[in-house]
Amino acid sequence: MVKAPHIVKLDRATGQRQIIANHWLRLAEAADDAVPPHSLLPLKEWLERRDELIGRADVGIWFAPDDEPEALGSDAAQLAIIAVEFPAFTDGRGFSIGRLLRERYGFTGELRAVGDVFKDTMLYLKRCGFDAFEVRADKDVEEAAKGLDDFTEYYQGAADQPLPLFRRRSA
Partner 1 sequence: MYIYDDYDQRIVDQRVAQFRDQTRRFLSGELTGEEFRPLRLQNGLYIQRHAPMLRVAVPYGHLTSKQVRMLAHIARKYDRGYGHFTTRQNIQYNWPKLEDVPDILADLATVQMHAVQTSGNCVRNTTTDQFAGVAHDEIIDPRPWCEIIRQWSTFHPEFAHLPRKFKIAVCGSVEDRAATWVHDIGVHVVHNEAGEVGFKVIVGGGLGRTPIVGAVIREFLPQQHLLSYLDAVLRVYNRYGRRDNKYKARIKILVKAMTPAAFAAKVEAEWAHLKDGPMTLTQAEIDRNAAFFTAPAYETLPAEDAGFAQLRSENKAFARWVERNVFKHKVPGYAAVTLSLKATGVAPGDATDAQLDAVADLADQYAFGEIRVSHEQNLILADVKQSDLFAVWEAAKKLGFATPNIGLITDIVCCPGGDFCDLANAKSIPIAEGIQRVFDDQDYLFDLGEIDLNISGCMNSCGHHHVGHIGILGVDKSGSEWYQVSLGGRQGHDASLGKVIGPSFAQDDVPGVVKQIIDVYVEHRQDDERFLDVFDRVGMEPFKTRIYAKERAHG
User: In terms of Cα–Cα distance, which of 77, 45, 36, 50 is closest to 63?
Assistant: 45
Under the binding rule (CB under 8 A), the answer on residue 105 touching partner 1 is no
Region 115-154 residues binding partner 1, contact defined as CB under 8 A = 118-120, 123-125, 127-128, 140, 143, 150-154
CB 123, min distance to partner 1, A? 7
Region 54-93 residues binding partner 1, contact defined as CB under 8 A = 89-93
Q: What number of chain residues touch partner 1 (CB under 8 A)?
A: 36
8-state DSSP, 59:
E
> What order do you get walking across the sheet with 132-134 strand by strand?
17-20, 7-10, 132-134, 110-115, 81-86, 59-63, 39-42, 25-26
Which residues would be at the binding site for partner 1 (CB under 8 A)? Answer: 89-93, 95-96, 99, 104, 118-120, 123-125, 127-128, 140, 143, 150-158, 162-167, 169-170
